[in-house]
Structure 1
Amino acid sequence: MFEGIAVLRWLCWGAVYLLAVSVALSSETLPPCPQSCRCNAALQELNCSGSQLARVPDDLPPNTKLLNLTRNRITALVQRKFQSLPQLLDLDLSDNIVAVMEVEAFLGLERLVTLRLARNRLKLIPVGVFAGLPKLKLLDISSNEILVFIDFTFRHLTALQFIKATDNELVFISHQAFAGLTSLHELHLDGCNLTAVPTEAFTQLSGLRSLHFHQLGFATLQNYSFRQLGRLKELVITRSRWLETLAANSLFGLNLTSLTIKQCNLSAVPYVPLHPLVYLVYLDLSFNPITDIHGNLFGDMLRLRELHLVGCSLLRIEIEAFKGLAHFKLLNVSGNLLTTLEAGAFHSVDNLRTLGLDNNPLACDCRLLWVVPRRQHLDFGGNPPTCSTSVHLQGRYVLDFTEAELPGLLTCRPPRILNRKPQEVKVDQGHTAVMYCIAEGDPVPSVTWLSPQLKTLSPIGRIRAVSNGSLEVHYAQPQDSGAYLCVASNAAGNDSLPVSLHVRVFPSSSKNPFRLKGWFTFPSASPGVNGNQIITFDVRTLLVVATIGLLSFFSSVSVCFIFMFFWSKSKGQIKHTATIAYVPRSTVASSNGGKGNCVEKNRFTMKLI
């Protein structure tokens, strides 16, 4: 028994000795940690962050894989400064004051994967700085003072997949700046001082999948700005307060699945540029001053699933706004000026899964009745819609209504036109006719006017529907006569009222006018009230016109004679003496090869003396 205990004791002491020897040996092989830095031998990490270093230390352990030199005062990176770190995978030089990088500054870092140079003072990146980085995949040069990208700036980074270059002062990107970036998948750029999208430079990035463009410095996105980026799937344009419009073909050639244009100055949804994006799934137009979503204009984007319009100025979403979007699952219109959202705006409300409708001045009436039965299947993001404009429901959540309350709370009153008496408006040709249509209802009905041909009249043109519900006919013509129809409608129904218009032709100012029937044909003229085009002339008017014409003629002739008289006087006395001389002459000439004779007759000559 005692022998077993002794053996066990010897084994324990042997294990302790071997452990001590191994620790001693390992401590001898590990290089010392540089002063003012912190080392982690297990992770092979060297952390020199916040050490007030003015340059990169010389005594760095060669087996370091992670090197953190952030928040120091390093001003320059000299040539081949890191060649003693062949195992380095991650190098972070952010938050320094680096203004100069020499050519081949990173030569020797053949295994480096990540390089961060954010928040320094770089103005220019010389060609050859990134030589010797065959495995680099991420480069962060954001928040510097870079002005230009010259040709072949990144040509050695053949494995690079991600570049972040935001918050710089770029004014020019050379056509060959991105040459060699055959593996680049994601690019983040600022364009605040660029005059246009660097289209030619982008043609070098045939494999690009995601492009983030921030702070564009121009008002219009030009046609074919992103041509030859056929593999691009995500385009993000943000914080561009000057961007107001997108040219019709600005997105032509792209096969995007995700498009974000937010925090810009778009006043309307860019329907035409969006037309070719048939593969689009995600669309974000948040924080733009967009006021309306019109009906039936999203129909070409059949695959669209998400639409974000947060913090815009939306006043209305029209019926059939999302018609044709059979896969539409998410709509976020939080923080707008919407008073309602009708079920008729959607292709199918059954497909909808997420609805952001909070922070809108909603009127809780029958137009929102469709939301309540689907509240168990809809995700409101923790912010259910709240009644705002209805006095008796103000502050209540739409989802709190019980089934018993719904019939008496979420109600609408159909429209009713107040002036129901038959109207007949008469006006002289060339004058303005106004037809009134006043309607009431809850919600307030919209008023539409139809022409005698039952065509909807627009708010512009000679015959236009005014916002107050009236119809104005300017410079009325006989062909404008007919029965116009006023239609008042809201979610509860509609009401209509016909109004008759009769336009009288020009009244005659003479008892016996002179009339010409069928003498002239005008291509744009329409038949008159009686079916014939009558052109009426007043005799008195004809006499006045003829008199004025004769007086003008005689005045012109008199002026001409007076002018000739004074001109002749200025030339002196006119000569009256003349001499007439008789010149007999006979000439015989041969013609036709000497055959036949020709005799020239005598002639008179006269000369004034």
Structure 2
Amino acid sequence: MIGSPGPGGRALVPWPRVWRWVLAVSLVVMINLMLPGSSQACPPRCDCSAQLRSVSCQRRRLTNIPEGIPTETQLLDLSKNRLHWVHAGDLAPYPRLEEVDLSENLIATLEPNAFATLQSLKVLKLRGNQLKLVPMGAFAKLGNLTSLDLSENKMVILLDYTFQDLRNLKHLEVGDNDLVYISHKAFSGLLGLEDLTIERCNLTSISGQTLSYLRSLVTLRLHHLSVTALEDQNFRKLSNLRGLDIDHWPYLEYISPLSFQGLDLHWLSITNTNITSVPSASFKNLVHLTHLNLSYNPIPSLEPWAFKDLLRLKELIMVTAREGQPVNFLCRAEGEPAPAIVWISPQRRRITTKSSGRIIVLPSGTLEIRYAQLTDSGTYICIASNAGGNDTYFATLTVRGQPLDAASAFFLNRSLYSGEFLNDTNLNNTRVFLKFTLDLTTILVSTAMGCITFLGVVLFCFLLLFVWSRGRGQRKNNFTVEYSFRKSEPATGPTSGGMRKFNMKMI
């Protein structure tokens, strides 16, 4: 019997109570195993979150990786401390780490296999340290790493095979370094890299062989470089590249017609360089380009036919840094005899070469906008004519006020319709939109012509019906039938010769 004395006079413990005690102990053990940090205390100078499995030791003046970090930690923030190095076994006790932030420390050396035990690591931040060289094997066995930030260090060269084990890396930052050379095989192994930023370096050239390993690259940003020219086929192997951003190349003066050969770009930005004309020859093969930015370049005039090969171009942005610099819009025509070019203002006034003021026409037929005011808004028409006829070119100009410290700018936006552009010119603290499109008069005329054609067809059909009905009314409804009797039938009546007539009427 439960609870009765057993042999030797001992009382037996009731079985239900024993099972409750066993379940309670098991539950406590399971909780201890499941909760991170429950078996180990949080480092005294850090903040821990068991729910997020994160440890933050930011701004704690640490000189070494602190002890007591829970082994289940997935996010470790050691940024803005005084760490000088990362040894191979420093992070070995934390194999579940997925993100490590070592930014803004004093790390000058990375040992080979420094992170080899962190095979679950996805994000590694080493920005703002003192790294001068990254040895081969520093990122060994980081096959799951997707983001790496090495910017704002003191690296002078990227050695061959520096990133060879990072086959799944998607984003790489190596800007704000002292780079003077990138080895031809430095990017070998980056099979999945999609986004690369190189900026504020001392590079004087871009090697096509170096970039050829980045077959999956989608976006490439090259900022603040000392490159003087883009040579033939600099990006020839980047077949998946969709966006290229070239910014602050003060020595860039030449862009080869074959520099973008092999690319299928959707957007291209070439800003803050020293090119003096639109590199239209290099745009020849960019049939899928929709957005183009040519701002802050000393380009004095914009020729519409410079973009004739960009069939899908929707937006062109051009911003001029020098306030008050005139921007010229050319309207040219060829023919025999040579066509005469006339510009008509929105007020339907002719703008001649003798005009003086904010907007004039140069002897070449160029419309020069020196500065614009709100009263200059409207549609400008370029008319080219000779003995053979004339052709027109429409430009809609919309002026909007800008702050006094605004830069001069003009934008071009072309829709899917052929010949439709949008230029925005900001001169003398105003913003001007110049849109080459069909105006209201042209739309009304086209609509009227369509209606007249339709009404003409309807009238012609009614005329045919009228003629047919008139002809039908002139037909005779009566006719006469003659026939003769057979010989067996006697001839009766006054009709001679056995002939008889019947008059019949059509119904």
Give TM-score, length-normalised by structure 1. 0.51
Cα distance 1:234–1:385, how it changes in 2: closer, same or farther (>3 A)?
A: closer
Aligned residues of 1:357 and 1:385 also touching (Cα < 8 A): no
**Residue among 269, 282, 296 paired with 2:278:** 269
**Residue among 206, 216, 220 paired with 2:229:** 220
Structure-1 separation of matches of 2:287 and 2:400: 27
**Amino acid of the residue matched to residue 39 of structure 1?**
C
Instruction: State the 1:270 CA deviation.
Output: 1.5
Partner residue in 1 for 2:217 = 208
Structure-2 separation of matches of 1:397 and 1:262: 20
Instruction: State the 1:338 CA deviation.
Output: 4.7
Partner residue in 1 for 2:57 = 48
Q: Does 1:148 align with 2:157?
A: yes
Q: What percent of counterpart residues are identical? A: 32
Question: Which runs of structure 2 are paired with 1:320-331 in the superposition (5 Å)?
Answer: none
Cα distance 1:78–1:396, how it changes in 2: closer, same or farther (>3 A)?
A: closer
Q: Does 1:87 align with 2:103?
A: no
Q: Does 1:316 align with 2:327?
A: yes
**Residue among 282, 285, 288 paired with 2:291:** 282
Which of the pair has the greater relative contact order for Cα pairs under 8 Å at 6+ separation?
2
Partner residue in 2 for 1:135 = 144
Alpha-carbon deviations, 1:295-317, whole Å to 9, x = none? 32211101011111123456234
Structure-2 separation of matches of 1:30 and 1:312: 62
Q: Does 1:253 align with 2:262?
A: yes
**What RMSD in Å do the two structures reach over aligned CA positions?**
3.6
Aligned residues of 2:175 and 2:198 also touching (Cα < 8 A): yes
Query: Matched residue of 1:29: which SS?
Result: coil
Alpha-carbon deviations, 1:271-290, whole Å to 9, x = none? 12122211101111122222
Query: Matched residue of 1:296: which SS?
Result: helix
Aligned residues of 1:191 and 1:217 also touching (Cα < 8 A): no
Q: Does 1:31 align with 2:44?
A: no
Alpha-carbon deviations, 1:358-388, whole Å to 9, x = none? 5599xxxxxxxxxxxxxxxx999xxx99997
Question: Which runs of structure 2 are paired with 1:423-502 in the superposition (5 Å)?
Answer: none
Query: Matched residue of 1:260: which SS?
Result: strand
Partner residue in 2 for 1:556 = none
Structure-2 separation of matches of 1:154 and 1:254: 24
**Structure 2: stretches of 5+ with no match in the other structure:** 1-19, 333-368, 383-391, 405-420, 434-507
Aligned residues of 1:296 and 1:320 also touching (Cα < 8 A): no
Partner residue in 1 for 2:179 = 170
Q: Does 1:117 align with 2:110?
A: no
Instruction: State the 1:197 CA deviation.
Output: 0.4
| Farther-moved stretch of structure 1 (273-282 vs 97-106) | 273-282
Instruction: State the 1:266 CA deviation.
Output: 2.2
**Residue among 225, 231, 238 paired with 1:229:** 238
Structure-1 separation of matches of 2:299 and 2:128: 35
Q: Does 1:293 align with 2:339?
A: no
Structure-2 separation of matches of 1:309 and 1:23: 67
Structure-2 separation of matches of 1:232 and 1:224: 13
**Residue among 237, 242, 248 paired with 1:239:** 248
Instruction: State the 1:198 CA deviation.
Output: 2.0
Structure-2 separation of matches of 1:185 and 1:152: 18
Instruction: State the 1:195 CA deviation.
Output: 2.7
Partner residue in 1 for 2:351 = none
Instruction: State the 1:349 CA deviation.
Output: 6.8
Alpha-carbon deviations, 1:368-420, whole Å to 9, x = none? xxxxxxxxxx999xxx999979xxxxx9999xxxxxxxxxxxxxxxxxxxxxx
Structure-1 separation of matches of 2:180 and 2:73: 38
Structure-1 separation of matches of 2:93 and 2:394: 65
**Structure 1: stretches of 5+ with no match in the other structure:** 1-13, 322-335, 362-377, 390-394, 399-609
Cα distance 1:293–1:38, how it changes in 2: closer, same or farther (>3 A)?
A: same
Cα distance 1:23–1:40, how it changes in 2: closer, same or farther (>3 A)?
A: farther
Structure-1 separation of matches of 2:132 and 2:175: 13
Query: Matched residue of 2:210: which SS?
Result: helix
Cα distance 1:138–1:24, how it changes in 2: closer, same or farther (>3 A)?
A: closer
Question: Which runs of structure 2 are paired with 1:285-434 in the superposition (5 Å)?
Answer: 285-313=294-322, 315-319=326-330, 338-339=371-372, 343=380, 359=402
Cα distance 1:225–1:112, how it changes in 2: closer, same or farther (>3 A)?
A: same
Structure-2 separation of matches of 1:74 and 1:200: 36
Question: How many pairs align?
Answer: 340
**Amino acid of the residue matched to residue 188 of structure 2?**
A
Structure-2 separation of matches of 1:287 and 1:397: 16
Structure-2 separation of matches of 1:150 and 1:232: 24
Structure-2 separation of matches of 1:308 and 1:356: 16
Instruction: State the 1:24 CA deviation.
Output: 12
Question: Which runs of structure 2 are paired with 1:431-580 in the superposition (5 Å)?
Answer: none
Instruction: State the 1:35 CA deviation.
Output: 1.9
Cα distance 1:347–1:109, how it changes in 2: closer, same or farther (>3 A)?
A: farther
Cα distance 1:32–1:224, how it changes in 2: closer, same or farther (>3 A)?
A: same
Cα distance 1:344–1:257, how it changes in 2: closer, same or farther (>3 A)?
A: farther
**Amino acid of the residue matched to residue 158 of structure 2?**
F
**Amino acid of the residue matched to residue 129 of structure 2?**
N
Aligned residues of 1:121 and 1:144 also touching (Cα < 8 A): yes
Structure-1 separation of matches of 2:120 and 2:431: 61
Cα distance 1:396–1:88, how it changes in 2: closer, same or farther (>3 A)?
A: closer
Aligned residues of 2:297 and 2:320 also touching (Cα < 8 A): yes
Structure whose CA Rg is larger: 1
Aligned residues of 2:103 and 2:127 also touching (Cα < 8 A): yes
Instruction: State the 1:168 CA deviation.
Output: 0.7
Question: Which runs of structure 2 are paired with 1:168-207 in the superposition (5 Å)?
Answer: 168-190=177-199, 192-207=201-216
Cα distance 1:225–1:126, how it changes in 2: closer, same or farther (>3 A)?
A: same
Partner residue in 2 for 1:548 = none
Structure-1 separation of matches of 2:305 and 2:295: 20
Structure-1 separation of matches of 2:57 and 2:150: 20
